[in-house]
A and B are shown apart, each in its own frame.
Chain A
Amino acid sequence: MGLVLQHVTKQFGSFVAVDDVTLSIPKQRMFGFLGANGAGKTTTFRMILGLLEPTKGEITWNGERITYKHSHLIGYLPEERGLYPKLKVKEQLIYLGRLRGLHKEEIVKEMRDWLERFKIPQYEDQKVEQLSKGNQQKIQFIAAVLHRPQLLILDEPFSGLDPVNVEMLKEAVIDLQKKGTTIVFSSHRMEHVEQLCEHICIMHKGKPIVHGSIKELKRSFGKKNVIIHGELPFDTLIHIPGVIKMEKTVEGVRLQIADESVSQHILEHIYSKGFIRTFSLEEPSLNDIFIEKVGAAYEQ
């Protein structure tokens, strides 16, 4: 069961924002949506939440269409961050929590646990506008998970956070998944998606161009990477048959090759040409797959 999207299409006038998406996200999974700005991620999320009506197709959670009756089961962190600037953290969370069907006492208890976990218990009685952006984001995350939702939708949860806070939030997300929450999130930071998800969907111009498990995707991708560090003349490497791309790094080069066997030719070629510090054969990164599939350079 879990979350099922069947042939979901959304049109705004003549513009097709989401084009025939069919996906099935089993319960307790962590599912990542990748895509450039305007790829249709947020529109898809808004349709899952029932904020927008799909032009065609159907979205169900455990076999039922999602309506406001289910809002206590669902948590949402929108891409555009915002809270009431003039309200205190506590008042804010109580209001938002009650709208998700919680009682005041439960909210306060749950809120204190989370504030403690994020190391900001001192902000309970402060107005949101006095908090730093990162801390506001933590409060918003708390608002999304306060009611222990079954399905948690996070739109770009890590954008704008410093590395320490990103780690803190990642741990929290992983914990929630372990406790049984189904998590759908979008990001354009490949490494976050790679670390957190088993399953992904790459969206491009409203279409899901790739989806499946990351392991599977990497295996079927075929191409691999060779990393070489050392003092060598690298320029000729690009002419070796099977080398697709060469990228210079600080210590050497990173080559994309058509398949594993090419690596042996490269090794023969550079052997005795100079000092080799590192020579390694690696799996393709998600970024390689993304660039290949979307066919465009993408901001890292």
Chain B
Amino acid sequence: MSNKFWIVFLHTYVTKLKSKSFLISTIVTALIVFGISQLDRIIEAFSNDGQKTIGVIDETNGWYEALQAQFQTNKETSLVRHDGSEEQAKTYVQTDQWYAYIVLDVQNAQPKVTYYAKNIADSDVTHEIEQALQQVKIAMMAKQIGLTYEQINALYAPIAMEKVALEQHAKTEEQLNQARAIVYVLLFAMYMFVLMYGSMMMMEVATEKSSRIMEILISSISPIQQLFGKILGIALLSLTQFILIFSVGYASMKNSDMLRQLIGMDELPLSLILYGILFFLLGYLLYAMSFAVLGSIVSRVEEVQQMAGPVTMLVVAAFIMAMFGLNAPESPFMTAMSFVPFFTPMIMFLRIGMLNVPTWEIVLSIGLLVGTIAFLFVFGSKVYRGGVLMYNQASSWKDLKQAWQLTKK
């Protein structure tokens, strides 16, 4: 690698690193990640508006006490028996003394409840009441029939089903759930980063071209070196941002119960993370190269989006398939798609995360992907060389051919 390659590489990296847009997008994303990881605490902080009191007009015999017992341990909701008129209960609710009140009646041993509140949007409270009543109902019925406590428990004991995969190395249920969460997070990150940095790459090339500085650049450095310097400079930038955001996420999740349970952060499978980084980089190279080549044949920055369309669609398609595949990773369709180079980074990664994929399949798919990237580099750098010298009124995919011809003798 020559000296000039490093100049372009560092220039691209440092200029973008110092730019306001990078700073802002990093901070905003880090905040969002931090926010999600602290979601349980945030919700707690907001919902800390004291106990909700619910009045109960009991028209039954003894149900209130049983219901009250159910709510004993509930810190957020408490029940109050109301012996006065319903009019009075209404006033309590309207003056915010009570959150709501219920009228409880029993007909043919079935409880009948009417719930009155200012609005009925809060399904949490009604759900709680329903559940508690269900419990009470079971207890009441059982007493009628004459069942003991143990008998009831036996009746409602959950079925103990253990899933055992017969294949060696197949993932256990727990591992699968964990893998699903990690794969989901990494797939999403891949999708975001490839799209974001791929189009940054394209904008960068199109801007240099439309601002006409390209001709000066490629008279002092070969377009191929310049292209590589740029692609790798932006790759380093994306890694920087990825690591920054990942660190923020990791640091804040370490203290958060919810996500630790969800992902099982204690034993993050290292190999999966490494595969994630490998596929992320290969995917980035593939798409960045495609975007850069398209950027080189665009004459004006405004045309970038239009030209990028088909490639963007590929990324989106890969992501949608991967989301679908999270629930059916072993389907033949997913297996086939995981060998299509433009989908491999996401779908093969998903399969590796969820299944026990034979090594030859992994090697083959990576081989195909690397081969495609190599082909794109050879083809793309020729088109790029010609494309940057070409200024047309309106750009189209046909210009690829014209750009190719421009580099011929």
Contact = CB atoms under 8 A, between A and B. Distances in A.
Of all A-B residue pairs in the complex, the 5 with the closest CB atoms, nearest first, are A82-B212, A80-B212, A78-B215, A99-B220, A82-B211
Given A71-B219, A99-B4, A99-B217, A81 B212 contact: yes
A96 B211 contact: no
Nearest to A81: B212
A76 B406 contact: no
Interface in B1-46: 4, 7-8, 11, 15
Interface of A: 12-13, 46, 49-55, 68, 71, 74, 76, 78, 80-85, 87, 91, 95-96, 98-100, 140, 143-144
Contacts of A85: 211
Given A52-B406, A53-B408, A55-B409, A143 B215 contact: no
Nearest to A48: B219
Nearest to B3: A101
Contacts of B15: 87, 91
A95 B217 CA distance: 10
22 contacts: A49-B219, A51-B389, A52-B406, A53-B408, A55-B409, A71-B219, A78-B215, A80-B212, A80-B391, A81-B212, A82-B211, A82-B213, A82-B215, A84-B208, A84-B211, A87-B15, A95-B11, A96-B220, A99-B7, A99-B220, A99-B221, A140-B216
Contacts of A87: 15
A88 to B, nearest CB: 11
B222 interface: yes
B389 A12 contact: no
Contacts of B277: none
B7 A98 contact: yes
A78 B389 contact: no
Interface of B: 4, 7-8, 11, 15, 208, 211-222, 389, 391, 405-409
B405 A12 contact: yes
Contacts of A52: 389, 406-407
A51 B408 contact: no
Contact of B215 (A13, A51, A68): A51
Contacts of A100: 220
Contact of B220 (A13, A53, A71, A80): A71
A53 B7 contact: no
A76 B219 contact: yes
B392 to A, nearest CB: 13
Given A76-B219, A95-B11, A99-B4, A53 B407 contact: yes
Nearest to A144: B216
Nearest to B215: A78
Contact of B222 (A46, A68, A74): A68
Contact of A143 (B11, B216, B221): B216
A144 B218 CA distance: 13
Given A53-B407, A71-B221, 12 more contacts: A51-B219, A52-B389, A53-B408, A54-B409, A68-B221, A76-B216, A80-B215, A81-B212, A82-B213, A84-B211, A95-B11, A144-B216
A96 B222 CA distance: 13
Contacts of A96: 216-217, 220
A30 to B, nearest CB: 20
A203 to B, nearest CB: 19
Contacts of B406: 12, 52
A12 to B, nearest CB: 7
B112 to A, nearest CB: 71
Contacts of B405: 12-13
Nearest to A153: B219
Contacts of A83: 211, 213
B219 A53 contact: no
Contacts of B208: 84
Contacts of B222: 68
Contacts of A98: 7
B389 A46 contact: yes
Contacts of A12: 405-406
Contacts of B218: 51
Contacts of B11: 95
Contacts of A13: 405
A114 to B, nearest CB: 16
A107 B162 CA distance: 72
Nearest to A77: B216
Contacts of B221: 68, 71, 99
Contact of A74 (B7, B219, B389): B219
A174 B230 CA distance: 37
Nearest to A55: B409
A153 to B, nearest CB: 9
A91 B11 CA distance: 10
A80 B7 CA distance: 24
The winner among B8, B15, B213, B406 for most chain A CB atoms within 10 A is B213
A98 B220 CA distance: 10
A16 B215 CA distance: 22
A268 to B, nearest CB: 57
Contacts of A50: 219
Nearest to A10: B409
Contacts of B389: 46, 51-52
A144 B221 CA distance: 14
Contacts of B220: 68, 71, 96, 99-100
A87 to B, nearest CB: 7
B15 to A, nearest CB: 7
A135 to B, nearest CB: 16
